[in-house]
Amino acid sequence: MKSDTSLAGRPLARMDVASVGAAIAAAQRPSGEIPWCEGDKTDPWDHVEAAMGLSVAGCHEAARRAFVWLMDTQLPDGAWHAEYRDGVPVQERRDPNMSSYIAVGVLHHYLVMGDRGFLEWTWRAVEAAIDFALSMQAETGAIHWSLNPDGRVDPMALLTGSSSIYMSLKSALAIADILGKTRPRWRRGLRRLGEAIAHKPCLFNMTKSRYSMDWFYPVLSGAVTGEAARKRVERYWRKFVVKGQGVRCVSDQPWVTVAETAEFCLALDAMGNTPLAHIVFQWICEKRYEDGAYWCGFTVPDMTVWPEERMTWTNGVMLMAADALYGLTPAGRLFRHDFWEDRLPDLFAAR
């Protein structure tokens, strides 16, 4: 399926989609691995985020090679190591959030391309990754943070990570439904995790409330919707948002990050506040280098760009936000809450 990745003539849009995609592709290894930037580490979550950006930009073969790398490096238990350099694991703990995010990337690529064969080809990897993540679910519904190299489970739980896993579980269930497969255990796990995120914040005992992702990821993932989502966004707006600039990574630091701002735009669009998402997106559209690649972050009010590297995942999520707001591909609705109400109605009918 051919995608229209041009923003020419669209109101208030100032992104060179092809250049942003090229910035990601330039960092990709021949194996398909996508590090943070040239010479830096690779983690599976950000690798998938960058691959999703490639799909939006029309770099479909490069995106497919990213999934080849994931399938080549998946461990027997369905997980991936937390960090690699040139394909060699250098941080050997196994993170259920990083591992399960393949499901979001696979569904996203399918929505862009319409290729059922791609779902069939990646199914075993997705299935194993989701089974690993759910093996780390506590009785409370929260997901334990990590499996250490010695096999010990770290019992801490992250709100941001668990919210991301919620999105991964939804995506995996959507893939299963398309392929005619039933996974009742996944549905039960999703319900329990959603209840924990929405109603039991005390379960997430690795405190990250200073970080903006803890603020908006429950909304971005769809675990918090409707009026609860609106109230959550309003409650902490002043804590994290620098008007006219973007979203702070950490509330008590003068550092706005482009990736968090783009993800927040996705969250606003997901909950139906698309006009505000457009406004926030315009704040960061010009935060880029001459080659079109986006800054990672910048300090306020002095506007010092830091760090200076062109992060693949930052460029990936900028493309995803543009897709959501300007309809570049059929995957632009992936994070919208109403998309999931239609896709998995039985899971959301009681809300």
What domains can be seen in the chain, in order of their start residue? 17-348 (1.50.10.20)
What percentage of the chain has pLDDT greater than the value 70?
95
Query: 22-41 pLDDT, tens per residue?
Result: 999 999 999 999 999 999 99
- Checking if the pLDDT of 211 tops 90, the result is yes
Confidence of residue 13 (pLDDT cuts 50, 70, 90): low
Q: How far apart are CA 293 and CA 243, in angstroms?
A: 23
* Mean pLDDT rounded to a whole number for the chain: 94
Query: 263-276 pLDDT, tens per residue?
Result: 999 999 999 999 99
pLDDT at 12: 39
**What average pLDDT does the segment 194-217 reach?**
92
Confidence of residue 11 (pLDDT cuts 50, 70, 90): very low
Per-residue tokens: 68 = 């080849």
**What average pLDDT does the segment 235-241 reach?**
97
**What average pLDDT does the segment 75-89 reach?**
97
Amino acid symbol at 47 = H
Report which of residues 110 and 343 the model is more confident about.
110
CA 72 vs. chain centroid, Å, equals 21
- Checking if the pLDDT of 42 tops 50, the result is yes
- Checking if the pLDDT of 296 tops 70, the result is yes
- Checking if the pLDDT of 60 tops 70, the result is yes
Confidence of residue 351 (pLDDT cuts 50, 70, 90): low
Which residue shows structure tokens 């849009």? 13
pLDDT at 8: 43
List Cβ neighbours of 80 (8 Å cut-off, separation of 6 or more).
44, 70, 73, 74, 94, 98, 99
Query: 300-341 pLDDT, tens per residue?
Result: 999 999 999 999 999 999 999 999 999 999 999 999 999 999
Q: Which one-letter DSSP state was computed for residue 128?
A: H
Residue (of 282, 288, 273) closest to 322 by Cα position: 282
Contact by Cβ (8 Å): 149, 92: yes
Write out the DSSP string of 85-120. Answer: ETTEEEEEEE-HHHHHTHHHHHHHHHHHH--HHHHH
pLDDT at 10: 52
Q: How far apart are CA 57 and CA 53, in angstroms?
A: 6
pLDDT at 3: 39
Query: 90-132 pLDDT, tens per residue?
Result: 999 999 999 999 999 999 999 999 999 999 999 999 999 999 9
pLDDT at 128: 98
Report which of residues 9 and 304 the model is more confident about.
304
- Checking if the pLDDT of 283 tops 70, the result is yes
Contact by Cβ (8 Å): 311, 36: yes
Confidence of residue 5 (pLDDT cuts 50, 70, 90): very low
Confidence of residue 1 (pLDDT cuts 50, 70, 90): very low
pLDDT at 236: 97
CA dihedral (118, 69, 65, 4) positive or negative: positive
pLDDT at 346: 77
